[in-house]
């Protein structure tokens, strides 16, 4: 899976504290997913932000597309994430990847995180970003290496997170200036756009030859 150009004014806005989100706020986000420019499914995310610095995200993804022209490929994911003061403290993900099922959980074990993948346990880095990408990584990772956890497999990898610039994107009937980041990743980069609350608006990547776009359609509170 993922050039830096930054004017001072944009940088000040971009690196503002995540607490710019209203305290005790619940938000529902609905995304459309396009594979090879065809509508392939949906993703729904609910975010609960608390005034004590904790947040809870629950999300679902349901995608079907043609693979190798003749085979229908389907992916379903149900995930939950718990964060506190910008750090992951818990996660539960159930995945059905075209019939291959997996269960991935993360929980606090003292000052460390313990990961379980289908019952196999190991300790992982306590500071990690998830590839659900629903929230922007902490500012210390901007234009720097960032450790990433793949929520559906439990795989860990380290990539570079670069700030590219701003771009106006349409969200429903509104247009917003969004912050464009790129995650360097094999086999290709992942481009991500976040709104002023540092929450995901758009995602683009190519995997196994399939160009995929995830686009935010609607926000409800």
pLDDT per residue over 187-215, tens digit each? Answer: 789 999 999 999 999 999 998 888 999 99
Give the model's pLDDT for residue 5.
31
Give the model's pLDDT for residue 69.
60
Please state, in angstroms and rounded to a whole number, the distance separating the CA atoms of residues 122 and 113.
9
Domain for residue 2, yes or no?
A: no
Give the model's pLDDT for residue 120.
97
Residue 1, pLDDT > 60, answer no
Domain count, the chain: 1
Q: Which residues of 89-108 are buried (b: 16+ CB within 10 A; e: fewer)?
A: eebbbbbeeeeeebebbbee
**Rg, the chain, Cα only:** 17
Domain for residue 19, yes or no?
A: yes
Closest CA to 44 of 93, 77, 21: 77
Please state, in angstroms and rounded to a whole number, the distance separating the CA atoms of residues 216 and 213.
10
DSSP H helices in 112-219: none
pLDDT tens column, 86-100 = 999 999 999 999 999
Give the model's pLDDT for residue 129.
97
Give the model's pLDDT for residue 117.
98
Give the model's pLDDT for residue 70.
55
Closest CA to 32 of 220, 208, 202: 202
Closest CA to 81 of 166, 199, 183, 212: 199
Confidence of residue 23 (pLDDT cuts 50, 70, 90): low
Confidence of residue 71 (pLDDT cuts 50, 70, 90): confident
Domain for residue 190, yes or no?
A: yes
Confidence of residue 123 (pLDDT cuts 50, 70, 90): very high
Residue 68, pLDDT > 70, answer no
Domain for residue 34, yes or no?
A: yes
3-state secondary structure (DSSP) of residue 131: coil
Q: What is the mean pLDDT of the chain?
A: 88
**Tokens 């506190």 belong to which residue?**
84
Q: Domain range for residue 16? A: 8-220
What is the CATH classification number for the domain harbouring 187? 2.40.360
The token pair that represents 131 in the structure block: 């590839």
Domain for residue 1, yes or no?
A: no
């Amino acid at each position: 899976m993922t050039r830096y150009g930054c004017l001072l004014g944009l940088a000040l806005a971009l690196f503002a504290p995540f607490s710019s989100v209203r305290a005790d706020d619940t938000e529902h986000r609905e995304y459309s997913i396009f594979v090879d420019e065809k509508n392939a499914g949906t993703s729904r995310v609910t975010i609960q932000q608390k005034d004590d610095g904790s947040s809870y995200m629950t999300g679902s993804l349901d995608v079907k597309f043609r693979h190798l022209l003749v085979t229908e490929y389907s992916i379903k994911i149900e995930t939950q994430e718990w964060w506190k003061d910008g750090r992951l403290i818990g996660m539960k993900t159930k995945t059905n990847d075209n019939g291959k099922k997996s269960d991935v959980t993360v929980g606090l074990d003292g000052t460390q995180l313990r990961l379980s993948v289908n019952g196999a346990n190991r300790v992982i880095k306590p500071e990690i970003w998830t590839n659900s990408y629903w929230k922007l990584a902490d500012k210390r990772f901007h234009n720097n290496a960032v450790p990433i956890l793949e929520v559906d497999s439990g795989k860990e990898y380290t990539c570079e997170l670069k700030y590219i610039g701003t771009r106006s994107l349409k969200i429903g009937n509104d247009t917003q200036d969004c912050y464009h980041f790129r995650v360097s990743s094999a086999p290709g980069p992942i481009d991500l756009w976040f709104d002023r609350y540092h929450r995901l608006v758009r995602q683009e990547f190519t995997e196994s030859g399939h160009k995929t776009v995830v686009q935010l359609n609607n926000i409800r509170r």
